A = this chain, B = another copy of it.
């Protein structure tokens, strides 16, 4: 149940992290993380890092999409978050990752050495503040996720669609990079329930589903009402 297709590392497109070219030092205070780090491509379903691996880097999505997740003993998978272009992930306080991360689609990810960031933060309050802010943003995301998980199937799906819409540049139609299984594992539902709920929402004219990965929010107000 909840099996992933092919989750093994793709050793072709993903050189070992140690092989990354040296991260340029950026000693100036007020430096943003934008301008440092090496960009690395990952193929669809490639593992970016694994749970309990040392957290050597922090990551920024340059293009594509990423999921973080945990798998329980019995195989149930919970997706912690989806990261789209511009999002930062892999930020941990401990020195190991508490989730695993995989590419949802082929994507490019910028790697920034954690030790570099931490050292930089010690010198630049700006960088320190950025680190704090990113962690706090992540916290807010997690708290919103908790609020989703106590709701009904309809409310969860509606909430998910609104969240994705809010994160998409173009407003009307949402292009979903992830499968129904991913959505289900994010929302704590089964694919069947997600699928059924989407057709339900379509029948009630709240959304349109021209193709399975493309969803038009026909009546966002109705969705918000569902979102409680």
Contact = CB atoms under 8 A, between A and B. Distances in A.
Contacts of A147: 70, 72, 78
Q: What copy number does this chain have within its complex?
A: 2
A136 B92 contact: yes
A150 B2 CA distance: 13
Contact of A138 (B70, B94, B139): B139
Contact of A139 (B73, B78, B129, B135): B135
Contacts of A133: 93
A73 B128 contact: no
Contacts of A93: 132-133, 136-137, 139-140
Interface size band for A: 35 or more
Nearest to A68: B143
Contacts of A78: 146-147, 150
Contacts of A136: 92-93, 135
A53 to B, nearest CB: 16
A214 interface: no
B132 A128 contact: yes
Interface string A71-93: 01110101010000000000011
